[in-house]
Structure 1
Amino acid sequence: MKENKVFQLNGFIGVLAILLFLALSVFMLINETIGLAIPLLIITVFLASGMTIVQPNKAVVVTFFGRYLGTIRENGLFLTVPLTVRRNVSLRVRNFNSKKLKVNDVDGNPIEIAAVIVFKVVDSAKAVFDVDNYEEFVEIQSETAIRHVATKYPYDTFENVELTLRGNAEEVSNELARELQERLDVAGVKVIEARLTHLAYSTEIAQAMLQRQQATAIISARQKIVEGAVGMAQMAIKQLEQDGTIELDEERKMQMVNNLLVAIVSEKSTQPVINTGTLY
């Protein structure tokens, strides 16, 4: 199915035609000319059956004994093909808020995710005839797309990965919109925007995952501290050797590096040990 334009005439011209035929039929009845009055009344009723009103941002799908004739998109009063069935379809922008769905991310961790989908009908023929109920179709396909996208990425990680659900919300939303558009093309629906509105670990593992995140963050921070401490120790030894103020053998270099690493890496302030000599 593909939307096309149906025959339509300005409704006020149709009203004038109906009033004209009605006046003629009444005139014939008054003059007792039944043979002409009855056909004129039939024509009047025939024309009146083709009158329709189209509200702003709505379309009227016209069918004639089961055959799709076309769609009226302009708003106002129109005269179209008589004896047709007309169905209103909203062309307005609408929102669909999905429920909180529980799915597993790519690492198998259960998460809760929800999204809002902004959409509108762009092809009334597809929306009416290619799917049973396009609003229900949008709802089901949206939840299916959200589940599928959520299983493609990890919720969060400190490793070098391309995308995560928490850290790349913009990219994930764009991916969701693209996939959803492919699913809704058959219904003549355009996805204007898709955004995540809720993202969290499931309650049964939330505490454990929080501890894991904290441990991973501590390990990552420790790695940075150790790298910095080693660099500082190397710089200190190199500077002392260049100045020539102190000559250090390998054992003293090792001891100095050890003391510097302990002083820098330690979480608490280090206490200096003063050597006062040996008491006899």
Structure 2
Amino acid sequence: MSTTTAHTPESDDPLDRGDSGTPTRPVPRLIQNEATTEIPVHLLFRDDPDPVSVPLRPAVVGRRQGTGEQPRLRRPAPAKPRPVAAVDPELVERPARVLPGAAGVAAGFGGVAGGLATSWWAGVLSPLAVHALHLPAYAGAGLGQAQWAAYAGAGALGLFGFAGLARGATGRAWVLGLFGRYRGTVRRTGLLWVNPLLLRRRVDVRLRHWRSEEMPAADGNGVALRVVVLVVWRMRDTARAVLGVDDHETYLRECVEAALARVPVEMPGRMRGSVEMAADALTRLVATDAAGIGLEVFSVQPVRMEYAPEVAAAMHRRRIAALDAQQRAGMLASVVDSVEDTVTRLTVRGLVELDDYERKVLVRDLTVAFCSGRSDSAP
């Protein structure tokens, strides 16, 4: 069985001939030092009904000598996302079951009325109270088991009614628990009735800001800094914030310290927009870390930055030296421009004719004079 092969585009004849026999122009070789080989046609066109898929891996292709082809670099693998701390996924804020305050008031007064009725029934109510309440005269059955049971029921009803009254305020919430189990959150306002057996924890859900104390940080060169930040945040999930961690405010402060250790903070004036870039990076990091415990962080802004005490003196001298060098460079550029302008005007207008030596002397004298005058006038 003969195998048909594919030949290279080049031919020994000056003109190649196509299928019709007409001469065609030779195809120029794109790469001069390209080496070609014959490829069997049956390898190019395979009638395989079920080809086996071969996984392709990115490879590094070297540069061909003399072709000018750039090497193909392997793409770096994407970084794995950093795990975010999270509390129990089942611990999610949900509304608690409460009743309007009118129900508690009615239950409380019902208990009081029951106690009075029981006293009248037992005959221990004073005649003045009977007359004031417009009750019929009754000798009383005395204090027996039935009367004591009625007293217990009326007292329990009145106690549960008045003890469960609570006042909900705007921006405040109640986190309720029973025997260590989360029972819901109350965000309603006004007079409410909450089961008095539930443990109540009052929390603040308003928009809050926290100005930190001086925290350690570093700039892009690793120089130690002391930074004061302003954090604007609020409690979004009361269940996770109150029950997920021991103290959510301490957790937030630790998150800010951890973010400052990872984000370089530049002193104002060194780089344009450096403070805004640092604030954006700090906000993203702290918001990601605090979201797991139900806190919503809106911004983390550095409000005051200074060098650490151990490097403050050295950095102050360095900054003064940089400012002095900048001022000297500006003064020198101004002096050179003034000398050049003076010499050019003198020579162009024909006031003086100077050779090379006289020109150098004039430039030197003018430079010394201008520098002395600017140094004397400088503060």
**TM class, shorter-chain normalised?**
0.7 to 0.9
Q: How many residues align?
A: 262
- Counterpart in 2 of 1:71? 185
Q: In 2 relative to 1, CA 36–101 (structure 1 residues): closer, same or farther, beyond 3 Å?
A: closer
Q: Secondary structure at the match of 1:115?
A: strand
Q: Which runs of 5+ in 1 are unaligned?
A: 270-280
* 1:122 and 2:236 matched: yes
Q: In 2 relative to 1, CA 104–172 (structure 1 residues): closer, same or farther, beyond 3 Å?
A: closer
Describe how 1:74-89 pairs up with structure 2 within 5 A. Answer: 74-80=188-194, 83-89=197-203
Q: TM-score, length-normalised on structure 2?
A: 0.56
Describe how 1:93-172 pairs up with structure 2 within 5 A. Answer: 93-149=207-263, 152-155=264-267, 161-162=271-272, 168=275, 172=278
How big is each residue's C-alpha offset from its partner over 1:207-246, in whole Å with a ceiling of 9 and x where there is no partner? Answer: 2222211111111112212222222233333333443333
Rg larger in 1 or in 2?
A: 2
- Counterpart in 2 of 1:199? 305
- Counterpart in 1 of 2:338? 232
Q: Which moved more, 1:246-255 or 1:19-28?
A: 19-28
One-letter identity of the residue aligned with 2:100: N
Looking at secondary structure, tell me which structure has more strand per residue.
Answer: 1
Q: Secondary structure at the match of 2:95?
A: coil
Q: 1-side partners of 2:295 and 2:168: how far apart?
A: 20
One-letter identity of the residue aligned with 2:353: E
1:23 to 109, 113, 116: 113
Q: Secondary structure at the match of 1:77?
A: strand
Task: Give 1:89 shift.
Answer: 0.9
Q: Which runs of 5+ in 2 are unaligned?
A: 1-90, 123-143
Verify the 8 A CA contact 2:217 2:260 in the aligned structure 1.
Answer: no
How big is each residue's C-alpha offset from its partner over 1:134-173, in whole Å with a ceiling of 9 and x where there is no partner? Answer: 1221222233334433xx1344786xx4555xxx4x6544
What is the identity percentage for the equivalent residue pairs of Structure 1 and Structure 2? 25
Verify the 8 A CA contact 1:96 1:139 in the aligned structure 2.
Answer: no
One-letter identity of the residue aligned with 1:74: R
One-letter identity of the residue aligned with 1:75: T
Q: TM-score, length-normalised on structure 1?
A: 0.73
Describe how 1:212-223 pairs up with structure 2 within 5 A. Answer: 212-223=318-329
Verify the 8 A CA contact 2:231 2:301 in the aligned structure 1.
Answer: yes
Q: Secondary structure at the match of 1:238?
A: helix
Q: 1-side partners of 2:322 and 2:226: how far apart?
A: 22
Q: In 2 relative to 1, CA 241–235 (structure 1 residues): closer, same or farther, beyond 3 Å?
A: same
- Counterpart in 1 of 2:293? 187
Q: 2-side partners of 1:181 and 1:55: how far apart?
A: 27
One-letter identity of the residue aligned with 1:253: R
Q: 1-side partners of 2:268 and 2:232: how far apart?
A: 26
Task: Give 1:95 shift.
Answer: 4.8
Looking at secondary structure, tell me which structure has more helix per residue.
Answer: 1
Task: Give 1:11 shift.
Answer: 0.7
- Counterpart in 2 of 1:209? 315
* 1:245 and 2:357 matched: no
RMSD over aligned Cα atoms: 3.6
- Counterpart in 1 of 2:362? 256
Task: Give 1:59 shift.
Answer: 0.4
Verify the 8 A CA contact 1:121 1:189 in the aligned structure 2.
Answer: yes
One-letter identity of the residue aligned with 1:153: V
- Counterpart in 2 of 1:278? none
Q: Which moved more, 1:199-208 or 1:216-225?
A: 199-208
Q: 2-side partners of 1:26 and 1:91: how far apart?
A: 43
Verify the 8 A CA contact 1:101 1:147 in the aligned structure 2.
Answer: no
Q: In 2 relative to 1, CA 180–244 (structure 1 residues): closer, same or farther, beyond 3 Å?
A: same
Q: Which structure is richer in relative contact order (CA contacts within 8 A, separation 6 or more)?
A: 1
Task: Give 1:42 shift.
Answer: 5.7
Verify the 8 A CA contact 1:119 1:193 in the aligned structure 2.
Answer: yes
How big is each residue's C-alpha offset from its partner over 1:74-133, in whole Å with a ceiling of 9 and x where there is no partner? Answer: 333212456433221123455544333344433232232333434432332221133221
Q: 1-side partners of 2:370 and 2:297: how far apart?
A: 55
